[in-house]
Amino acid sequence: MVSNLAGRCSCGAVKYRMTSVPMFVHCCHCRDCQRQTGSAFVLNALIEADRVELLAGETRVYPQPTDSGRAHVIHRCPACGTAMWSIYGGREEARFVRVGTLDDPTALKPDVHIFTRSKQPWVQLPPGVPVFEVYYDTKSLWPAESLARRAALFNKQTPT
């Protein structure tokens, strides 16, 4: 069990804590992630927004163009610009927290490598971790507990 899932931006103005383990961790090799991070991939921990506790500061929202055309916003520290998490498809109830912002970024490892069709050729993927050229079937790969959390998150009814 992971015990410390606190993190911060580069300058320390924005601090947060995940109050539980994430549902799933993606290592995404798509061109959008490469462009937006300036790196070969991004490591994102998918977690419910209400399980990310903001301890200090506020983030600033930066809408991003995507190859798919689907909505994507990055929450960044307004002082130093560090990307803290993303929201995809306008689904505000979920966050894709940047694992590299954790105080201990070794606390979470990828559960899957996605969009490897655009993976940099020098990146070597570890054995034993599922790899997909594009995306995958969530229901066949996620643990039952994570699927239940996801269903509860996305099937909430809006009060009338």
Instruction: Judge whether residue 160 has pLDDT over 50.
Output: no
Overall pTM > 0.85: yes
**Res. 158: pLDDT tops 70:** no
Instruction: Specify the pLDDT at position 155.
Output: 85
Sheet holding 112-114, edge to edge: 60-63, 72-76, 83-88, 94-98, 42-48, 24-28, 112-114
Is residue 137 within 8 A of residue 113, CB to CB? The reply is no
d(CA 6, CA 17): 4
Region of 92 please: left (phi>0), alpha (psi -120 to 50) or beta: alpha
Q: Is the pLDDT of residue 105 over 60?
A: yes
pLDDT tens-place string over residues 49-70: 999 999 999 999 999 887 777 7
Q: Please report the pLDDT score of residue 69 as a whole number.
A: 77
